[in-house]
């Protein structure tokens, strides 16, 4: 009698486990199918240029169906790195690709995410270098403007000094003429 109850109990747990597995499969496969449909929808939105709505839908997929979160993360990374996206953000795009790499090590998208992460790291470094060079150029332009003003001031001072030198030269010429006239008068007085 005890054996039969144990057998019934084993069958009960077996059937319960089967029901749970079937329930999980139906729930998760329904979630996956729904999420895959939404992923296709977000792809269409991105193609149409509605990047913000596509990003929102991908975030919703990530929350509702984390088992295909790698696809959502990958797509969010693509949206934020898309060259036509006016709100593109390479740093946040890189974060999504890194999150995919860390949280989904077995994902089929992992290698692609690593490539994108590497490319984005390069782009971010180039942007930082470009910003640094632009700042340096602006600083040099500012220095040049200051030096140009100084040159203008020095040129004006030189013009003023040249004018004074010319005036002094004219005065010297007048004084020489006066001196010459005085000497001529002295000679004429001495000759008489």
Average pLDDT over residues 86-92: 95
pLDDT at 26 exceeding the cut of 60: no
pLDDT at 10 exceeding the cut of 70: no
Q: Is residue 188 part of a domain?
A: no
| Res 125: pLDDT | 96
User: Sorting pLDDT into bands at 50, 70 and 90, what band is 16?
Assistant: very low
Q: Is residue 60 part of a domain?
A: yes
pLDDT at 81 exceeding the cut of 50: yes
CATH number at residue 89: 1.25.40.10
The helix or strand, by DSSP H or E, that contains position 140, with its residue range, turns out to be helix 110-191
For residue 83, the enclosing domain spans 2-133
Residue, of 19 and 96, whose pLDDT is higher: 96
Of 82, 81, 69, 80, which is closest to residue 109 (Cα–Cα)? 69
pTM: 0.62
Q: Is residue 189 part of a domain?
A: no
pLDDT at 117 exceeding the cut of 50: yes
pLDDT at 64 exceeding the cut of 60: yes
Q: Is residue 178 part of a domain?
A: no
| Cα–Cα distance list, 8 to 13, 18, 23, 93, 119 (Å) | 9, 15, 22, 55, 60
Q: Is residue 139 part of a domain?
A: no
The number of domains in the chain is 1
| Res 70: pLDDT | 92
User: Is the CA virtual torsion 68, 69, 75, 79 positive or negative?
Assistant: positive
Distance of alpha carbon 110 from its chain centroid, rounded? 24
Q: Is residue 147 part of a domain?
A: no
User: 75 exposed, middle or buried (CB, 10 Å; 0-12, 13-18, 19+)?
Assistant: buried
| Res 89: pLDDT | 95
Q: Is residue 179 part of a domain?
A: no
């Amino acid at each position: 009698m005890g054996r039969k109850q144990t057998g019934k109990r084993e069958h009960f747990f077996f059937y319960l486990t089967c029901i749970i597995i079937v329930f999980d499969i139906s729930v998760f496969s329904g979630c996956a199918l729904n999420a895959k449909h939404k992923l296709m929808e977000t792809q269409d939105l991105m193609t149409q240029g509605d990047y913000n709505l596509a990003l929102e839908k991908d975030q919703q997929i990530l929350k509702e169906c984390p088992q295909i979160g790698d696809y959502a993360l990958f797509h969010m990374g693509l949206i934020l790195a898309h060259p036509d996206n006016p709100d593109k953000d390479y740093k946040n795009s890189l974060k999504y690709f890194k999150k995919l790499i860390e949280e989904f090590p077995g994902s089929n998208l992992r290698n692609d995410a690593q490539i994108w992460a590497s490319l984005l790291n390069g782009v971010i470094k180039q942007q930082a270098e470009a910003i640094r060079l632009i700042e340096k150029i602006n600083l040099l332009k500012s220095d040049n403007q200051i030096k140009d003003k100084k040159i203008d001031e020095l040129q004006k001072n030189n013009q003023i000094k040249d004018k004074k030198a010319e005036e002094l030269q004219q005065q010297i010429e007048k004084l020489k003429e006066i001196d010459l006239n005085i000497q001529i008068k002295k000679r004429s007085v001495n000759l008489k």
